[in-house]
Chain A
Amino acid sequence: MLKTFLIGIKDVRLAFRDRAALTFMLAAPFVLTLGLGLVTGRFSGNSGSGISDIPVAIVNLDDGQLGQALVDAFNSPELADLTEPTFPSDPEAARRLIDEDQAAAAVIIPAGFTQSIIPQASDFESAQPEVVQIEVYTNPERPTSAGIIKAIVDEFISRVEEGRVGGEVSILQMLVSGRITPEQAEDAGNAMSQRLQDEPMTNEAAITLNSSTADGQAVEFDALAYIAPGMALMFLMYTVSYGGRSILAERTQGTLPRLLVSPTSSAQILGGKIFGIFLTGAAQMLILIGASSLIFQLKWGDPLGVVVLVLAAVFGATGWGMFITATARTTAQVANVGSAMMLIFGALGGSFVSLEQMPVFVQAISKITPNAWALNGFTTLGLGGTLADLGTPITALLIMGASLFAVSVYLFGKKDLAQK
């Protein structure tokens, strides 16, 4: 056990003395986080932390209560700091603002939106009104901000839909049973729409639905809380492949055969190498988290949750590092596969674009990456969640790591580590 620990410590020391490795482990994710933070406007606002004043163009072509309710929601005090709505005259003007990068998203409420949700008296006697949908035209240059606007609209629609279904069923039942007349049904619908209109205004704004801490303090969504872990996790994959590579490098440079002729067992040596990769990855993540907290004033959330999630993420990632090392023959193969894995897992895992904006099949594939699970956890923490909310991602990461370790140990057993 002691030798396993000593081998691990030696590997951490070597990793942190390798300038090239340090560049990838610490400098690159930090610089990319800084760059993406600048691109998303994280550092240009005067609010100190959190995304604010997201420019959104709203065109309301609906002449009913629900269209106005959505407009009022964007004008509400709850969203006053987060969004900065403008009201172009028509949809084309709104889309132009997006195309010219003057707004993050355009919300176009079509004519007849309210009527499609809340039937009028005449609708009960004729065919059902045509279903119309709100259009959210997003700016690909501002994925995070556009994602937030889309989330606000989704939440609004979700609430409206809940009210509509419940209300429609009730009114229809009363109509069928003869307890109300069609005219009374229309009045009831109008009253319900008024409640729907009021509800988003009186409650918390949609985007902050989950954004309060256990003690009830409001938490702002910070774009960096998504970008920073995304970058750190992507370069964590570099670190674990670097660590895996060191096993084969030690074989080539003769230190592994030398270890094998010392009174140290193969299990201690392999355990030490794994421990070294794990320690290096954990150190890298914690340094990046510490540095971004100090320099960017980034709030990562519940400290205990962060530490446990980091350890689980590094465990899962180390499993991948061991797996590619166990399947490779040379250090060059590990380096190449490791670089490819870093980028592919980064893209699949949501380091560049939020997973929610990706196709469903990509979201499904992303489950094989530690990035996706860990990023899910960090986002939960960033929005005010605690360790108790991380059960699923932590369990997934632990299962991933354990499975990959089992396969890797089996493959290493078939390898002749003594041969250079």
Chain B
Amino acid sequence: MSNILEVKNLVKHYGDFQAVKGVSFNIEEGEIFSLLGPNGAGKTTTISMLSTLYTPTSGAATISGHSVTREPMAVRQVIGVVPQDLALYEDLTARENLIFWGQMYDLSGKALTARVDEVLEQIGLTDKANNRVKTYSGGMKRRVNIGVGLLHKPKLLFMDEPTVGIDPQSRRAILDTVKALNKQGMTLLYTTHYMEEAEELSDRVGIIDHGELIAIGTQKELTHQVGESETLVLHVGENDDSEALALALNGVAGVIKAEATDHEVSVICPEAEDVLAGVVTKANERGIKIRSIDIREPNLEAVFLHLTGRALRD
């Protein structure tokens, strides 16, 4: 497979602030590549540069062989963009929105009408196509937002956190749509801060934090970086000091690393069963009541924790 996207040392500064610090990666044709990182990591800025919206401070990127800085119009013909926030005309109907955006992608006449009908079918809004978007639920609006990005059958689709703030049912529908598009041959660059989505969808994942791409590879390759470690997640009471417990657990034999988040303490260790007794004892010594314990196999959350010392949701 050849690369549809090649990014080399992409940098974006806003004054003194460095939003993206020399990011490099490639995406092969036909794959789903996820950029996984917390809010403010630089995911949207990266997509904005690749989609020709922002000009990079330095570095280079090509899409289907076209430079994003020197040949923006050629790049725009190849890509589709589904922005993080809804970008629709709410006083127009779904059909009117799709027709307008199709026209902006040079579709017209019967081809446009047929394609709009296809997309409406694809996003499951054929029945409500003639209702104004402002009357839709959040999930339905998200689906129209995605539909706009699909109209011209782009080779490479950028999806910037398309599931933020929607109900589980709509999220499931969107994830299924992403998989279906990929099966049809579309290449996708998907950004998210939800580890589960990256794990479910991606052929490869790039982990981004503070504007730097700190790891890249398949899920297996990435989890291998933290060895065969497991993660013990301790759920503690609302009034318990999870920070103090994490600090104490870092001294327990067999614990690689312990980090506290909201009423949870994540403990990375080679074998959860080996450290379980010591962990419970430490909690009891500090008067902290453990409400429940989860044992997780190595995952991207653990990788992020391992690489940054912070949980993804921090």
Contacts and interface: CB of A to CB of B under 8 A. Distances in A.
A263 B83 contact: no
A258 B54 contact: no
Nearest to A14: B91
Interface in B62-77: 73, 76-77
B86 A264 contact: no
Interface stretch (B21-29, B30-38, B100-108, B290-298): B100-108
B73 to A, nearest CB: 6
A329 interface: no
Nearest to A262: B104
Interface stretch (A113-121, A215-223, A249-257): A249-257
A254 B106 contact: no
Nearest to A11: B89
Interface in A246-282: 253-255, 257-265
B104 A257 contact: no
Task: Determine the interface band of chain A, counting residues with CB < 8 A from chain B.
Answer: 20 to 34
Contact of A6 (B86, B89, B103): B103
A372 B217 CA distance: 68
A261 B51 contact: yes
Contacts of A260: 52-53
Contact of A262 (B88, B92, B101): B101
A254 B83 CA distance: 8
A130 interface: no
B262 interface: no
B91 A258 contact: no
A345 to B, nearest CB: 28
A25 to B, nearest CB: 15
Contacts of A254: 83, 85-87
A257 B105 contact: no
B83 A257 contact: yes
A7 to B, nearest CB: 8
Contact of B53 (A2, A6, A13, A257): A257
Contact of B87 (A13, A257, A263, A418): A257
B4 interface: no
Contact of A258 (B81, B103, B106): B81
B96 to A, nearest CB: 8
Interface string B175-188: 00000000000000
Contacts of B76: 261-263
Contacts of A258: 81, 83, 87, 101, 148
Contact of B103 (A3, A253, A257): A3
B108 to A, nearest CB: 8
A399 B83 CA distance: 41
A3 B87 contact: no
A263 B53 contact: no
A264 B107 CA distance: 12
A6 B106 CA distance: 11
B267 interface: no
B79 interface: yes
Given A261-B81, A263-B104, A255 B92 contact: no
Contact of B106 (A253, A255, A263, A265): A263
Contacts of B77: 263
Nearest to A272: B104
Interface in B215-274: none
A10 interface: yes
A262 B106 CA distance: 9
B88 A264 contact: no
A259 B104 contact: yes
A13 B51 CA distance: 29
Contacts of A259: 104
A179 interface: no
A414 interface: no
Contacts of B79: 261
A152 to B, nearest CB: 52
Contacts of B103: 2-3, 6
A186 to B, nearest CB: 80
A261 B81 CA distance: 8
A265 B103 CA distance: 13
B191 to A, nearest CB: 15
Interface of A: 2-3, 6, 10, 13-14, 17-18, 253-255, 257-265, 418
Q: Which 8 A-B pairs have the closest CB atoms?
A: A254-B87, A258-B87, A262-B104, A263-B76, A261-B51, A17-B91, A254-B85, A255-B87
20 contacts: A3-B104, A6-B104, A10-B89, A10-B100, A13-B96, A14-B91, A17-B92, A253-B86, A254-B85, A255-B89, A258-B81, A261-B51, A261-B53, A261-B76, A261-B79, A262-B76, A262-B101, A262-B105, A263-B77, A418-B54
Given A258-B81, A260-B53, 14 more contacts: A2-B103, A3-B103, A3-B104, A6-B104, A14-B89, A253-B86, A254-B86, A254-B87, A255-B89, A258-B83, A262-B105, A263-B76, A263-B104, A418-B54
